[in-house]
Amino acid sequence: MAAISPSNTSISTTPPSSSTITPPSFLPRFSLPITSTSHKRHRLHISNVLSDSKPTTITTTHSPQHFISRFAPDQPRKGADVLVEALEREGVTDVFAYPGGASMEIHQALTRSTTIRNVLPRHEQGGVFAAEGYARASGVPGVCIATSGPGATNLVSGLADALLDSVPMVAITGQVPRRMIGTDAFQETPIVEVTRSITKHNYLVLDVDDIPRIVREAFYLASSGRPGPVLIDIPKDIQQQLVVPKWDEPMRLPGYLSRLPKSSNDGHLEQIVRLISESKRPVLYVGGGCLNSGDELRRFVELTGIPVASTLMGLGVYPASSDLSLQMLGMHGTVYANYAVDKSDLLLAFGVRFDDRVTGKLEAFASRAKIVHIDIDSAEIGKNKQPHVSVCGDIKTALQGLNKILEGKSKVTNLDFANWRNELDEQKVKFPLSFKTFGEAIPPQYAIQVLDELTGGNAIISTGVGQHQMWAAQFYKYNKPRQWLTSGGLGAMGFGLPAAIGAAVARPDAVVVDIDGDGSFLMNVQELATIRVENLPVKILLLNNQHLGMVVQWEDRFYKANRAHTYLGNPSKENEIFPNMLKFAEACDIPAARVTRKADLRAAIQTMLDTPGPYLLDVIVPHQEHVLPMIPAGGGFMDVITEGDGRTKY
């Protein structure tokens, strides 16, 4: 096997005789390794790995022990059966797979598995977003499968979303037979090339013997280091080829393993503790990198008394109900969270990437503070904001080390930030999250508040992208990690409904609610059929304002309210709700109701929650409502907007 790896792609072939790689003659469109001339730092990708490198054996922890195969050890079976058994050996119990010509063999093999359940999406994008929702809700890699050509390209948005939000996922695609690659065959796309920059790693399998090793590597890569999506592209003739698999082949990832972060340096941790002891106004800035470190973070806050501001991806890592929670910071974060960062003298940035929607104007962000940055990805450290102290490593390990130091030093345990916390409490009183009411109209923020009350803050919430997403981040109080599923970095509309499907499959014991907007909901409305057929108890709280709400808000604020194709209703019948969302639900045999008056809302939401199985509640809300607070793009804390809506001219 040789891995042809331009940046992050492996193509399995037969072993080379030397380190010189000769491209297969039938692969004219798959480029060779190219040395980049760019000096820009990128996140950790995988370098060229040759099969004559010294094999590195790694034992994965999630593989089932004492696996019992349905085949005899020396019994030949199809490559597709090898693939399915490899998935079973990785502990996979659920996949989201849509069949097609180039992936039929895989689906036939899935029917022979007694372990793996296929949740059939109605569109490949629905499948990849469902796999993401599964991974986000459970913490283990989600798996989606699609055919070649358009099936594979329909996965692109989900792969990009998973990479930006660091979600572990394995996507498997069928490909045309090897002899037809590069001939413009029916339903052929070079999906390895298409997805190179939006996957953590990807493979084109050209040797059936490589399937067991590649699947093991894919799951290890997806879940280790900074998690992300891995794609495996398998030609149809490989799926059909008979083989006796070798399950004990070691993984060959020496380049990747050598660049994984090592244990945290105790000297750096001591330095961080010293900075904390010298600080008067420290703030924790916590992101999605801390999702697996909630217990350690809570202990750290307990030991230090430092207030916590969360990114959009970090919601739930630290309980929003705690007095020390400042909730979300950034463009639509609370005034007091952004105030705390602006006035702080020490910013502890844990598992974050200083995203533009958090920082706004970089020069003005935390300009008074010393910055400590801990992240598992070396490419993120110093990329946007230069830290004073940095630790490249697992935040869980780093927090354990910090807590150990804090617990062992009595002089540090007497940290007193009471004056700072009192100052922030005054800001909470002065600038609470609030909204106005207008007669009987339902404020969208109120709908989310009621949902929070009636679910006790314990539901898993998924969203689309737009105003409803920001209101769900602001007004639902997340107290545990993996309660909040949203497309953060990519901002992919249509994410909410299929992500809720994945969450309901991964966490059948949980209440799962998709808080969606009418624009986002329509982008994957076909997944209502999946919800019904699988009888998944997904509740849909649809905040329907007949507009592309967030774009309308920007039109109101920055374009003199000129409407540029943001009305989603029927212009010839503006007094009617269009389309009729209840008809979509009816077509899929899903109970549904519409509510238009604030007085009726609580009972309607309670009915939704009490109804067994899926339910759609169409909540009609005014389109003039704005998401506030708001720091305009490229602005700083001093530019924060706290008043106004679409009823005001700017």
Strand segments (E) across 136-263: 142-146, 169-175, 201-204, 229-235, 242-243
Q: Using CB atoms within 10 Å of the CB of residue 8, give its burial: 0 to 12 exposed, 13 to 18 middle, 19+ buried.
A: buried
What pairs with residue 275 in β-bridges? none
Give phi and psi for 485, each to the nearest 5. -120, 110
Q: Is 26 part of the annotated catalytic residue set?
A: no
Shortest CA distance to 222 belongs to which of 98, 395, 90, 394? 90
Stretch (H or E) spanning 108: helix 104-111
- Compute the distance between CA of residue 461 and CA of residue 512 in angstroms, rounded to an integer: 6
Cα distance between residue 400 and residue 542, in whole Å: 41
Check if the beta carbon of residue 352 is closer than 8 Å to that of residue 311: yes
**Residue 511 corresponds to which amino acid?**
V
By C-alpha distance, which of 483, 431, 481, 429 is closest to 452? 483
- Determine which one of 88, 124, 380, 625 is catalytic: 124
**Given 26, 67, 186, 558, which residue is catalytic?**
186
Q: Assess whether 581 carries a catalytic annotation.
A: no
Out of 78, 236, 385, 396, pick the active-site residue: 236
Alpha-carbon distance of 640 to 617, in angstroms, equals: 34
Distance CA 428, CA 422 (A): 10
The DSSP string of 327-351 is: EE-STTS-HHHHHHHHH-SEEEEES
| Nearest alpha carbon to residue 62 among 203, 232, 215, 257 | 215
Q: Which of 403, 36, 371 is nearest to 380 (CA)?
A: 371
Residue located via tokens 């007497």: 414
Active site residue 104: no
Three-state DSSP class for residue 50: strand
Contact criterion met (CB below 8 Å) for 261 and 394: yes
Active-site position among 108, 187, 271, 526: 187
Burial class (CB in 10 A: 0-12, 13-18, 19+), 408: exposed
Annotation marks residue 470 as catalytic? no
* Residues composing the chain: 650
- Rounded-to-integer distance, Cα 396 and Cα 379, Å: 19
Answer positive or negative: Cα dihedral of 254, 260, 261, 262: negative
d(CA 167, CA 289): 10
**Rg of the chain (C-alpha set):** 25
> Mapping DSSP to helix (H, G, I), strand (E, B) and coil, where does residue 271 land?
helix
| Structural contact between residues 2 and 197, judged by C-beta atoms closer than 8 angstroms | no
550 tagged catalytic: yes
Which phi-psi region, left, alpha or beta, contains residue 562 (left: φ > 0; alpha: ψ -120 to 50)? beta
Contact between 227 and 260 under an 8 Å Cβ cutoff? The reply is no
The 3-state secondary structure of 378-399 reads HHHCCCCCCCCEEEECCHHHHH
Q: Give 303's strand partners.
A: none
CA 339 to mean position of chain CA atoms = 27
Q: Which of 217, 220, 98, 228 is nearest to 155 (CA)?
A: 98
Give the CB-side neighbour count of residue 229, counting CA atoms within 13 A: 30
Report which residue type is found at 359.
T
Which of 550, 581, 608, 630 is the catalytic position?
550
In whole angstroms, give the CA distance from residue 456 to residue 593. 23
Q: Are strands 94-97 and 142-146 parallel, antiparallel or unpaired?
A: parallel
Catalytic annotation, residues: 124, 186-187, 236, 550
